[in-house]
Amino acid sequence: MAPIAITRGGCGVFVSPPHRPLAVRTILSISSVILLLIVIGDVCFSANKINKYTTDDINELTQTVLRLSQALHDAQIDNERTHHELELVEKGLSDNKIELNWETHHVRSIEESHRLMKESMLDQIHKDQINIIDTTKAASDISARQKQEHEVQLTREHDENIQLRVALAKSIEELDRVRRIQKQQQQQQLNAPIELENEADRSRSERNEMSGNKTSNTKSYERLLRGGSSNYQPGDGIEIIERIRRDDGVTKIALRPGIVADINSDGTYNLVKLEQSNLIKSINRESFRSYSVYTSGTSAFYEHQPKTYIPITIVRFIESSAKPGLEVHGNYLFTYDAEDKEIKVLHEARAMLIHRYAEDGDIDP
């Protein structure tokens, strides 16, 4: 690029562009000063010929040239300084641009990573939700199936327990019958020389007892089975007296169905508690009473499951195929107290599953 001509004080001065090297600009500046001096000399020489300038005028012009040269030199120094500062600014801008580009790329990379991570997390959450739904459904199905199987198992075990209780009661009854027959036979053998005349009556009594016919011997038979006011015999149906303290602090007397199993030498009794099918030993007479059929309207409890009792009202007793007097082996028709009074459904259950609370004056043995 050619030097730029600048006019100052009526004289032309060439100034190099700011982007040229310092040596080049210095040479151009010196050349400009020499050229300026030549021009001034010519002007002064011509003036001396024409106007006859004095020495003072020449000195003044020389001082002007020197001032202009110094100003030119100062301007060049300022120009160099400005150019250096511009180069520093350009370098800083370039560095900032590079850093900005890197930061922009880094931010975009982070945003892309976050986007991919978000999509991955949303996809995983969706999969987890599906897995949770499937797992919950499977667990619900398994729980329902296990509950149903458990209920079936409980029902089957409950029925088996009832059958075992009935079988136990019948076995005790049969054992008692055999014992009575043996006892009567032994008594007959002991009393044969004295009471030969009563042999026919005893034989008739035994036949009636074996056949279960209600003849003149019925009251004695029923006394032996049901229990009397003074003596109990094995196989008698009884109610075991239990005192229960409720949560509200009230003590109630519960009557549990049972059967006399054996009589001990000390006057105590071994009882079979039908509720649990277990043997209770050495029980005093004050701890149980004779069993009698619950009349219609009696408030009682139905043992729906072990240790689970439902309040009921007795409607009617149904005799079973057991021999007379064994009411504990029959069935009861009853209604649930919790049902609507206008709609009563009859239910049936074995007598051994029906319990009740004793009323005033109802626990005399």
Using CA atoms, how far residue 344 sits from 174, 333, 340, in Å, is: 38, 12, 7
Residue 174 domain flag: no
Of 74, 90, 106, the residue that ends a domain is 106
Report how many domains make up the chain: 2
What is the identity of the amino acid at 237? G
pLDDT the model gives residue 83: 85
The answer to whether the CB of 305 falls within 8 A of the CB of 154 is: yes
What is the token pair recorded at 361? 């004056």
Of 47, 75, 106, the residue that ends a domain is 106
- DSSP reduced 3-state for 333: strand
Residue 184 domain flag: no
Instruction: Domain of residue 72: give its range.
Output: 4-106
**216 and 84 belong to one structural domain:** no
Residue 228 domain flag: yes
Using CA atoms, how far residue 143 sits from 133, 158, 180, 251, 331, in Å, is: 15, 22, 54, 40, 35
**219 and 352 belong to one structural domain:** yes
Q: How far apart are CA 154 and CA 304, in angstroms?
A: 11
Residue 324 domain flag: yes
Residue 242 domain flag: yes
What is the token pair recorded at 283? 């029980």
Q: How far apart are CA 55 and CA 189, in angstroms?
A: 192
Q: Which of 239, 235, 240 is nearest to 222 (CA)?
A: 235
**224 and 350 belong to one structural domain:** yes
Q: How far apart are CA 231 and CA 185, in angstroms?
A: 21
Using CA atoms, how far residue 258 sits from 154, 239, 275, 297, in Å, is: 23, 6, 8, 22
Residue 309 domain flag: yes
pLDDT the model gives residue 11: 46
Residue 100 domain flag: yes
Instruction: Walk along the chain (365 residues) and give the pLDDT tens digit of each residue.
Output: 444 444 444 444 444 444 455 555 666 666 676 666 666 666 666 655 555 556 777 788 778 878 877 877 888 888 888 888 888 888 888 888 998 999 999 999 999 999 999 999 999 999 999 999 999 889 988 988 888 888 888 888 877 877 787 777 777 777 777 777 877 777 777 665 544 444 444 444 444 444 444 333 333 333 333 334 447 888 788 888 888 777 777 777 888 888 888 888 888 999 888 766 778 888 888 888 888 788 888 888 888 787 788 889 999 888 765 555 455 667 889 998 887 767 778 888 888 788 887 765 555 54
Q: Is the pTM of this model over 0.85?
A: no
pLDDT the model gives residue 360: 52
**101 and 217 belong to one structural domain:** no
Q: How far apart are CA 243 and CA 248, in angstroms?
A: 14
**227 and 349 belong to one structural domain:** yes
Of 58, 82, 106, the residue that ends a domain is 106
Residue 176 domain flag: no
